[in-house]
Amino acid sequence: MLYRQRQLDLPHGALETPVLFPVRNIGKRSSDNTPSYAGNIPEFSAAMVNARSIRNRDPMWNRLTDNVTLREEMGVPDDTIVFADSGGFDFTNEEVDTTPRKTLQTQKELEADIYGTVDVPISRDNRKVENQDRIDRSLRYAIEASDHHDSDALLFASVHGYDPETLRNSIQYLEKNGDFDGYALGSLVPIRTDYTKVTKLILSARKTTDKHLHVYGLGGLVYQPLLLYLGVDSFDSSAFIRSAGNRNYLIPGFGGEELHNIEDMERLPCPCPVCGNQTLDEVRENREALVKHNLWALATELRRFRYVAESGREVEEYLDLRFQGNEVTQRAYQTAKQQMRRLT
Ligand SMILES: [Zn+2]
């Protein structure tokens, strides 16, 4: 089994991994701003922010360069761990409007603990040549960031590829030519329903490096146990916000349930601080309550996996059960299992 537990020593404290970085939409104009969760859920004392959206939001950026800290701006404790990615996801359709140096400066100004390098995501719709060009540009940006990185924050190189070889070559190239504390896999969100492909890519990266491995954007309820099983150290997700926007209620061990499908129940099947004392109708009508519950659901899923691993039970038996209810995810897990067997 590739599942592993480690600890990252970061400027704002130690962080136990594997860990989820809940996405904070701070800086985004359309910001469904995330209700405060830091301090409420012990293992989520971390956040993923987008360096580019914050920098491009003038009034906020002025406050931050004046005398307000990012953590004050977010209303979270001073020791909150922050992972600032470059905002590369926006470069799927937009021109790159930053440089590795400028992004490093922004990440430093934000006092982030982890910096993701500038990247240009690839897309299934692109021609192969176009994607290869994007992959090469991301590699150049990463090396440039490595050359200029001089703070005690960790630097993760953002890497992309739609086949295991490209990904392996990219990581090996960066290992040889730069100095990185870990790697962050991008461009997986658009192909997330192709579980076999995603699994192969993650395994390829995991085999190539023993360093910290982050997966951008796939930290939802169903992916989480798969990522843990594949030895991924961290992931981020905004699924808890998006799901709540669609009135989707996440149930650990299952998935999302649209709340209007449930009519005649008074209590929800969850003892979290949100659902424990409120009725179904109260939760249904309160988007913020839904967001908070959904985060608790993600925490529960993570805790369960840890419990199974810690208590010496067979993780594979647990996952056989976990994925039983859904044909697609069951097939994904079976594929992952076969690929793992081939590895060892
Ligand atoms: Zn709940």
Cβ(127)–Cβ(82) below 8 Å: no
State the distance from the centre of ligand 1 to the C-alpha of 203, rounded, in angstroms. 33
Q: C-alpha distances in angstroms, 179 versus 104, 189, 328?
A: 15, 27, 39
- Region 17-37: mean pLDDT is 74
Rounded CA-CA distance 239/220 in Å is 6
- Region 198-222: mean pLDDT is 94
Q: Which helix (H) or strand (E) holds 72?
A: helix 70-74
pTM: 0.94
Rounded CA-CA distance 85/88 in Å is 7
Q: Give which of 279, 255, 249 is closest to 265, Cα–Cα.
A: 279
State the distance from the centre of ligand 1 to the C-alpha of 286, rounded, in angstroms. 13
State the distance from the centre of ligand 1 to the C-alpha of 198, rounded, in angstroms. 29
Q: Give which of 162, 34, 51 is closest to 115, Cα–Cα.
A: 51
State the distance from the centre of ligand 1 to the C-alpha of 242, rounded, in angstroms. 16
As assigned by CATH, the class of the 6-237 domain is alpha beta
Low-confidence winner among 132-136, 202-206, 218-222 (lowest mean pLDDT): 218-222
Cβ(153)–Cβ(108) below 8 Å: yes
- Count of CB atoms within 10 A of residue 304's CB? 16
pLDDT, position 238:
87
Enumerate the domain spans of the chain: 6-237
Q: Which of 106-110, 219-223, 294-298, 311-315 shows the highest mean pLDDT?
A: 106-110
Tokens of 55: 């920098």
Task: Give per-residue pLDDT as tens, 46-83.
Answer: 999 999 999 999 999 999 999 899 999 988 889 999 99
Cβ(185)–Cβ(197) below 8 Å: no
Confidence of residue 263 (pLDDT cuts 50, 70, 90): confident
Q: At residue 36, does pLDDT exceed 80?
A: no
State the distance from the centre of ligand 1 to the C-alpha of 85, rounded, in angstroms. 29
Across 54-211, the runs of DSSP E, i.e. the strands, are 81-85, 114-116, 154-159, 182-185
State the distance from the centre of ligand 1 to the C-alpha of 296, rounded, in angstroms. 6
Cβ(206)–Cβ(231) below 8 Å: yes
Give the up-direction half-sphere exposure of residue 300: CA atoms within 13 A in the CB hemisphere: 18
Cβ(138)–Cβ(118) below 8 Å: yes
State the distance from the centre of ligand 1 to the C-alpha of 274, rounded, in angstroms. 5
